[in-house]
Amino acid sequence: MTTAYAFVPSPLHIYPAHPEHPSRFDLLTARLDSFGAQKLDVKPATRDEVARVHHPTLINSLEDICKQAPAIIDYAPTFVTHTSFDDALLASGGTLSCMRAVLSGSARNAFALVRPPGHHAEPAHSMGFCIFNNIAIAAGDALVRADGRTERPLQRIAIVDYDAHHGNGTQATFMDDERIAYCSTHQWGIYPGTGWYEEAPHARKRIVNVPLPADSGDQSYERIAAEIFAPFIQSFEPEMILVSAGFDAHWNDPITSLGLSSAGFYMLSKKLVDLAEEHCGGKIVFVLEGGYDATNLANGAAAVFAALMDKPFIDPGDASPRKEADASEMIEKICERHGFIGS
């Protein structure tokens, strides 16, 4: 079976000097054909599909604001243009296409290469460069739509988020929904300020936050993959894994300071694909979030496609020149809090 992808570059969703810019995709676009994946047709998400996550008042007000665009709608800053409402619907629609291709069995796995990104968008607030929460909308859809293979909606989905920022919107959406588990690695002390390891005490093993010091890099993430991602998936037993893939965790991202290399993104992505093979019949969908350097974004996407398609990853040799921070104390605290020790 094939690996599918959706491509939504939104060239008119653009604001001068803003890092979430269409040029993020410039090098990716040139390499898309070389990955050998199957491109999906994309149509916009409907209002009803978006309303599974977002309040109707937010949807309506965004449509109105875009008519008066360009505008800044929160302090991150999050911008909108005249096309942003439609672009955001298409980004969510592209993510839905990937989810449905995998659920129907027409693709083994998939990657939604979309912008604007989504994981900061909360049910009632667009924020953090995000308009609608693409991954949450796809998860919400899978909880109500019959799977082509089992002929019932999914009942358990795990979302892993390795963007450099905490996915506050995804966490807020599913804070009290026991059908969805959420695990996020992120740099501590930066936007949006949420994601401390003790902030969801009611959801032990289900909401797992991994706040990391700046310059946590490949070695720390290798431990996290083995000691946190693996027991998180094993204990929740999802029917599908969704991944918020943000390549701003690369060491030379212009707006963050984590320490991953492209080989590190491949290691993380391969681990998640292997966990999906082991626990959920290979059903996994990656969804692009951040990543503000075009080279890192293209290399990161290549790493994800190599993992999804079980092909060798051609390492560009871009390891961090900085000394890696020691994240072991935090990793151990998180394992202890969630009972992951020895699993």
Would you name the residues annotated as active-site residues?
Answer: 120
Query: Shortest approach of Zn ion to residue 192 CB, angstroms?
Result: 10
Among 290, 305, 306, 331, binds Zn ion (CB under 5 A): 290
Applying CB under 5 A, the span of 39-47, 203-211, 236-244, 283-291 interacting with Zn ion comes to 283-291
Among 248, 276, 293, 303, binds Zn ion (CB under 5 A): 248
Applying CB under 5 A, the span of 100-108, 144-152, 159-167, 306-314 interacting with Zn ion comes to 159-167
CA-to-CA separations, 339 to 41, 204, 218, in angstroms, rounded: 43, 8, 24
Query: Shortest approach of Zn ion to residue 154 CB, angstroms?
Result: 26
Starting at the earlier edge strand, list the strands of the sheet with 240-245: 38-39, 3-8, 109-114, 284-288, 240-245, 157-161, 180-187, 207-212
Pair of tokens at residue 151: 């002929």
Contact 214, 131 (CB under 8 A): no
Among 93, 140, 238, 246, binds Zn ion (CB under 5 A): 246
* 163: contact with Zn ion by CB under 5 A: yes
Spell out the residues 6+ positions from residue 279 whose beta carbon is closer than 8 angstroms to its own: 233, 234, 237, 238, 241
Q: Give whichever of 16 and 254 is closer to Zn ion, judged by the CB atom.
A: 254
Distance between CA 182 and CA 18 in Å, rounded? 29
* DSSP β-bridge partners for residue 245: 288
Q: Give whichever of 192 and 282 is closer to Zn ion, judged by the CB atom.
A: 192
Query: Shortest approach of Zn ion to residue 129 CB, angstroms?
Result: 8
* 49: contact with Zn ion by CB under 5 A: no
Distance between CA 179 and CA 200 in Å, rounded? 16
* 293: contact with Zn ion by CB under 5 A: no
Residue whose structure tokens are 């804070």: 175
Q: Give whichever of 137 and 258 is closer to Zn ion, judged by the CB atom.
A: 258
Distance between CA 176 and CA 91 in Å, rounded? 26
Q: Give whichever of 165 and 271 is closer to Zn ion, judged by the CB atom.
A: 165
* DSSP β-bridge partners for residue 110: 4, 285
Name which of residues 208 to 237 contact Zn ion (CB under 5 A).
Answer: none
Applying CB under 5 A, the span of 101-109, 158-166, 220-228, 262-270 interacting with Zn ion comes to 158-166
* 165: contact with Zn ion by CB under 5 A: yes
* 259: contact with Zn ion by CB under 5 A: no
Q: Give whichever of 3 and 299 is closer to Zn ion, judged by the CB atom.
A: 299
Spell out the residues 6+ positions from residue 317 whose beta carbon is closer than 8 angstroms to its own: none
Q: Give whichever of 157 and 164 is closer to Zn ion, judged by the CB atom.
A: 164
E strands, 191-301, are 207-212, 240-245, 284-288
Query: Shortest approach of Zn ion to residue 148 CB, angstroms?
Result: 33
Q: How many CB atoms lie within 10 A of CB 155?
A: 13
Where does this chain bind Zn ion (CB under 5 A)?
Answer: 163-165, 246, 248, 290
